Structure 1
């Protein structure tokens, strides 16, 4: 049985007391403190375990431990006291859970660099000492993302948007004032931070072109490699170098540019990280009885082909479909039932088909048809990972009416197509986040978002780019509402259990 190397207790944070209300390098936390502050100089071990509501998350660092003192991922190299690690916490699967942000607010009285006005508040113009000014981060784990408007450039070409954007509702004041909003030359949307791990898979490309749009893939001018489009929600940065530059300027408020040495050190660290759930509270270790859960499989494997052609997606848990009687006798009834549920969930994920309708990037413009019948693996098809090997963004309706849930705390925009109407929403429609359209300037791309990575889900609620689903069951419930799939209650629970061990 594999035991966790370390189990830092998230619930111990409030007990640290007033002495812990020190920020950045001034804080000297214990080695097992789940919060990594900028500049503290802790060593990042080769194996790092943290508990979550579903079990234990493990991050492996290939090549051995990394001293973080002086490392640009861990040092506050910008002007607001943050480091990259501030928003990409190891305990949260190298992302940031809303519960972690809320705990940090309580512990520091809102004085942590995490809550920097630039994007850790609903708008920099709000009173920064008030909790309500940071509600989107504290309750949904959302950061403010400011994009230029009109769209200035995409893939090196000038862009004239083929749609107009009007602010219908602006609850936070960041889309209608003199400094923030279309009149000031920018648009504010609110999104979850994407995990900084498992990049070997996120950068993998399964096609030489974008099959969702029928165009050739762009190439990274520095490496010459084709870009997967899986790094950022709106694909505004196609390579890790572009992503670093974007994050350093916008989130760290770095004055100037990262040096080549800083870029190389960050890239080296990020490419060595592999993260996945390692232990389940309900099922025990995820790499026993023939199963291959945990990040070691990710570290030791290569990005797979489409699940329908290569290794089936989530076949890591196929051995749990029929556990030998002698082995089953060693498990508690609860452990056995949970493991069998996970195996069923993988089958439902692969085999339960439903009609996918009115989803740009799937039903149009690529010609799969509307509707098209398929299963979850139609988009979540890469073996060992569950992201999409077919580059390009998809509109699942999570940010756009009528499919998105009503959300009064988010801005609402009216999109009006100047030329050809949107293939499914018509000429005029409403969205909380235009998504990919803020990168391309195309009305047909409004609402498209890059699919989320499925590894490490247990540690980083809430889910979807805008935090629409507060827990794993919320993911399943959204898809059920959106596509009328007809999941049974048992199938829903099996899918939840599967996602909890990824």
Structure 2
């Protein structure tokens, strides 16, 4: 039986897991919007008995509540909508501590819950509450929160859960790097950051009253860092590991974390298959197309064949700019203070901006970090729409359009299609 005929839908995966409650076989095919993705675990299979899947808190959640194999080891808006419809919004992922638009939201009826969890259902975004730091080089001067909760003591920030796979190829943990700290550059110990994150998530998202033990943290981190997830079949190009292509998750397990170009589909440059040549062309556009002011896609997505940033740099690409604010997002008006943390005069003193999420600046307190976020990995994109930290792009086509409008990249219609074909093959 071929992989495409043997693959299962997201709806069918729960049946498979209930029938085989202890593991998901390596390279078990799971269909998604763009083809088929698989997961490879260095442990030999995905161990569903790991503490990652155990309820360690008080609200029935576990790590797997928001990090699902069938949704690219995160959650997708489409998957959450199906879960809501199946459970009437009572699945543990729907909890008011961070799943609802406000912790004070009415969740007494199905329709009330549908409204309360709308950011999860439409953007796949959870609510992260963070204050303005005490040492901030800026101040919050106005809040426009459609849900009536946010303030300087707790901004409501709606962010997508990042995938819990391919973690040996990331330089910092979390969109704002807060478990890594305020230092510039890549983490000195990503595993320690993941350990801290596993505890913070258990106490926060899962509402555990106490810290989890070091042995449980280690078990979760060992599980996560053994997972590799990627697309293995694209609808048009077919098997991504055929004809010299190196798609799929298995090569990621031995992929060096280095700064280099994407080279997965070099062998397809002269393929007789039109769709495969399109993937190669998209790869080369990603690697080499330079915008007028300088810079390529690979300039930020610099880690070879995974697309994180090798140096752990946080970038502002205008995703959270106030001009992009939609009616369902809180908007914050922020003014730069007169002094920097060093005591020197702030060159931006008095500057006023609007933003839907200050990003890294809420960790460091620095004006220069305003609206900066980590560069995420780019594998298994077909499993985990919508895209960007706020879930504001519903498709890969919208991602390309955003970068054309925001950063000034110029692509023809054919080049846009090639770029999408490449990203769909990751």
Whether these two folds match at TM > 0.5 is yes
The answer for the alignment partner of 1:392 in structure 2 is 313
Map 1:136-285 → 2, pairs under 5 A:
136-147=119-130, 149-151=131-133, 159-175=134-150, 181-182=151-152, 185-203=153-171, 217=185, 226-227=188-189, 239-285=193-239
Distance in 2 between the 1:423 and 1:343 partners? 45
Query: CA distance change for structure 1 residues 42 and 8 in 2, over 3 Å: closer, same or farther?
Result: farther
Q: 1:376 aligns to what?
A: 297
RMSD after superposition: 2.6
Task: Please report how far the alpha carbon of residue 500 of structure 1 lies from its aligned counterpart in structure 2 after TM superposition.
Answer: 0.4
Aligned to 1:52: 32
CA distance in 2, matches of 1:387, 1:67: 26
- Give the 5 Å matches for 1:101-500: 101-128=80-107, 129=109, 130=112, 131-147=114-130, 149-151=131-133, 159-175=134-150, 181-182=151-152, 185-203=153-171, 217=185, 226-227=188-189, 239-304=193-258, 306-307=259-260, 312-313=261-262, 315-323=263-271, 328=272, 336-355=273-292, 371=293, 373-402=294-323, 405-419=324-338, 427-500=351-424
**Equivalence for 2:179:** none
Shift of 1:174: 2.1
Equivalent residue number for residue 178 of structure 2 = none
Residue 407 of structure 1: how far off its partner (Å)? 0.5
Give me the whole-angstrom Cα distance separating, in 1, the residues matched to 2:68 and 2:415.
32
Match for residue 87 of structure 1 among 61, 66, 79: 66
CA–CA separation in structure 2 for the residues paired with 1:51 and 1:95: 15
Secondary structure of the structure 2 residue equivalent to 1:277: strand
Matched residue of 1:477: which SS?
helix
- Partner-residue secondary structure (3-state), 1:381: coil
Q: Distance in 2 between matches of 1:408 and 1:44?
A: 40
CA–CA separation in structure 2 for the residues paired with 1:121 and 1:301: 38
341 and 441 in structure 1: CA distance in 2 versus 1, 3 angstrom threshold = same
For the 8 Å contact 1:297–1:384, the answer to whether it is kept is no
**In the TM superposition, what is the alpha-carbon distance from 1:474 to its structure 2 partner?**
0.6
Matched residues in 1 for 2:3 and 2:349: separation?
51
Aligned residue for 1:47, secondary structure, equals coil
Task: Classify the secondary structure of the residue corresponding to 2:28.
Answer: strand
Q: 1:204 to 1:244 in 2, by over 3 A?
A: closer
Cα distance change of structure 1 residues 469 and 60 upon mapping to structure 2, 3 Å threshold: same
Q: What is the deviation of 1:427? A: 0.8
Q: Distance between the aligned counterparts of 1:290 and 1:218, measured in 2?
A: 33
CA contact (8 A) 2:281 2:418 kept: yes
Secondary structure (helix, strand or coil) at the match of 2:15 reads: coil
Structure 1 alignment gaps of length 5 or more: 14-28, 152-158, 176-180, 206-213, 220-225, 232-237, 329-335, 356-370
Instruction: After superposition, give the CA deviation of every residue in 1:264-291 in whole Å (9 maximum; x if it has no partner).
Output: 1101101110000011111110001111
More helix by share: 2
Q: Which blocks of at least 5 consecutive residues in structure 2 are unaligned?
A: 174-181, 340-344
Relative to structure 1, the CA distance from residue 291 to residue 259 in structure 2 (aligned partners, 3 Å threshold; closer, same or farther) is same
Task: Give me the TM-score of the superposition, normalised by structure 1.
Answer: 0.77
Q: Deviations over 1:143-181 (max 9, x none)?
A: 00011x232xxxxxxx51111013431101221xxxxx3
C-alpha distance 280-216 of structure 1, shift in aligned 2 (>3 A): closer
Partner of 1:74: 53
The 1:49–1:388 alpha-carbon spacing in structure 2 relative to 1, beyond 3 Å, is same
Shift of the 449–218 alpha-carbon distance from structure 1 to 2, 3 Å rule, reads: closer
Farther-moved stretch of structure 1 (412-421 vs 119-128): 412-421
Q: Take 2:9 and 2:257, find their aligned partners in 1: how far apart are those partners? A: 33
Runs of at least 4 residues off by over 4 Å: 214-219, 420-426
In 2, Cα distance between equivalents of 1:423 and 1:30: 59
Structure-2 residue corresponding to 1:62: 42
Shift of 1:2: 6.2
Aligned-pair CA distance for 1:376 = 0.8
CA distance in 1, matches of 2:407, 2:185: 30
Of 418-427 and 278-287, more deviation after overlay is shown by: 418-427
Quote the Cα distance in structure 1 between the aligned partners of 2:357 and 2:123: 15
Distance in 2 (CA, whole Å) between partners of 1:377 and 1:422 is 32
How many residues end up aligned between the 2 structures? 409
